[in-house]
Amino acid sequence: MVITIDGPAGAGKSTVARLLAVRLGFEYLDTGAMYRAVAWLALREGLLDDVDSLCRRLDKIQLHIAGATVTIDGLDATPFLRDPEVTRASTRVAAHPAVRVFLVRLQKKLGESGRIVTEGRDQGTDVFPQACCKFYLTAEPGERARRRLAELTASGVSPLPTLAELEASIADRDNRDATRPTGALRAALDAKLVDTTALSTDQVVELLEREARIRLAAVGAP
């Protein structure tokens, strides 16, 4: 029983996915945090520019994700996942097919365990094409940058980037995410498209919950 939420950076996926999961009594899976954790490890170990070593390293990586907490080889990566350097590096590691194979395998395994709301770029297309309910969230770039700034401010990141820097970095990540050869950002044909630009978080969650309950009922979910 899988609900997928895909879309570009800053479209509000994480907040909405977490709240939707609570309302439905589902688990929540933040797949961006998995790419961020691998990026953090690659930075720590100086492997970001050494694709071959990074790929070999994947065989030995123990990655665990539970809610908002990600541990990698027993180290808690959670406090570092939103650092601007890790954010930039995550887009780069996400472009390596071997990293994607490794994380997609893990995501599929987590999806087997029950009822999840999973959020990312390729969840409704490549990872869970059979999901009973799929959403594709988007919002105008200026609004996405404003939301990212509010998120970074709330989590105490310092120094804060400017709005213009955030817009430029979001545009760059969108471009990289959408043009990579595997796991590219795109909406599944059967996903419901939701433009969140003019909607509050509550309104988006309401809309998704209504749609999800209809689709879950249609497949006979309890």
Kindly provide the residue ranges of all beta strands, DSSP E only, lying in 74-185, ordered along the sequence: 75-76, 116-120, 133-138
User: Least distance in Å: CB of 78 to ligand DC?
Assistant: 13
CB 27 within 8 A of CB 71: no
Select the residue interacting with ligand DC from 78, 91, 138, 169 (CB under 6 A). Answer: 91
Q: Under rule CB under 6 A, which residues in 154-193 are in contact with ligand DC?
A: 173, 177, 183
User: Least distance in Å: CB of 24 to ligand DC?
Assistant: 20
Q: How far apart are CA 22 and CA 28, in angstroms?
A: 8
Q: How far apart are CA 144 and CA 73, in angstroms?
A: 33
How many binding residues for ligand DC (CB under 6 A)? 15
CB 205 within 8 A of CB 147: no
Select the residue interacting with ligand DC from 35, 40, 102, 135 (CB under 6 A). Answer: 35
120 interacts with ligand DC by CB under 6 A: yes
- Alpha-carbon distances, residue 42 vs 7, 45, 52, 78, 181 (angstroms): 25, 5, 12, 15, 21
Nearer to ligand DC by C-beta: 91 or 196? 91
- Cα torsion 19, 207, 147, 34: sign: positive
28 interacts with ligand DC by CB under 6 A: no
User: Least distance in Å: CB of 201 to ligand DC?
Assistant: 16
96 interacts with ligand DC by CB under 6 A: no
Q: How far apart are CA 11 and CA 194, in angstroms?
A: 10
Residue nearest to ligand DC (CB): 32
Nearer to ligand DC by C-beta: 57 or 148? 148
Q: How far apart are CA 88 and CA 74, in angstroms?
A: 23
Select the residue interacting with ligand DC from 2, 19, 36, 134 (CB under 6 A). Answer: 36
Residues that bind ligand DC (CB under 6 A): 9, 31-32, 35-36, 90-91, 94, 120-123, 173, 177, 183
